[in-house]
Structure 1
């Protein structure tokens, strides 16, 4: 039985107490993007099935993927893939006990954000250059 003279245990801090940090944001976004990649894999499956089915099915996929909304979704899927990749590498480094100090963790988090954005732009620049759009 608990001793009544013992001080009450402190309550757990809630989000209003914590200072929002880049590492916190990256953790949340990493999980959300990971779930979103499941939906993105449906696009990849549709693309492969359309390519295997025949020219009519592939033309339908190309029509949807070539529209502005399709291009926006594919751009977001590219960013999600790269963001999840670089976020995963960040976690891999932490598992190896590298860059675990608060300052190093913040730098690594910002590096992952910048790498994902730069990688997405580079992939799309290369893809559009190969298509002759740029």
Structure 2
């Protein structure tokens, strides 16, 4: 087989060959939320540094946090936290040898999605109720 024929074939697994499944989407999302949480930690440290430095510096962070973009970022980081937490718990069950059956894997995956959305809205509603 010539090298020209080999380079024309897709590598396996390939996105054009396989349909995305819930388990693969959740795996990719778990990695993405880990990255988002890392960015969020850097932002949190900068926010704390601004709070300890001066009221003018903190006012910039307070302004951003109350802006539309800031609220979207904070909401996304909150969802990332809950998704990563719940999916991490799901992985702990897998590490213990439970939940590998296809139906159970899908049910636990949907539970992670629903639980993370519900916990995010619950946390934001609680935060607004306390204010």
The reply to whether TM is greater than 0.5 is yes
With normalisation by structure 1, the TM-score equals 0.84
Which residue number corresponds to residue 4 of structure 1? none
Give the C-alpha shift of residue 57 in structure 1.
1.7
Alignment of 1:1-134 (within 5 A): 12-131=12-131
CA distance in 1, matches of 2:65, 2:84: 22
CA RMSD of aligned residues (A): 1.4
Pair member with larger Rg: 1
Which range is displaced more, 87-96 or 47-56? 47-56
Q: Which runs of 5+ in 2 are unaligned?
A: 1-10
Aligned positions, number = 121
With normalisation by structure 2, the TM-score equals 0.85
CA distance in 1, matches of 2:34, 2:105: 20
CA distance in 2, matches of 1:108, 1:58: 41
Report which of the two has the higher share of helix: 2
Give 4+ residue runs of structure 1 displaced > 2 Å after superposition: 11-20
Give the C-alpha shift of residue 54 in structure 1.
2.5
Give the C-alpha shift of residue 19 in structure 1.
3.6
Which range is displaced more, 115-124 or 35-44? 35-44
TM-superposition CA deviations, 1:71-124 (whole Å, max 9, x none) = 111000100111111111111110011111111001000000001000000000
Which residue number corresponds to residue 6 of structure 1? none
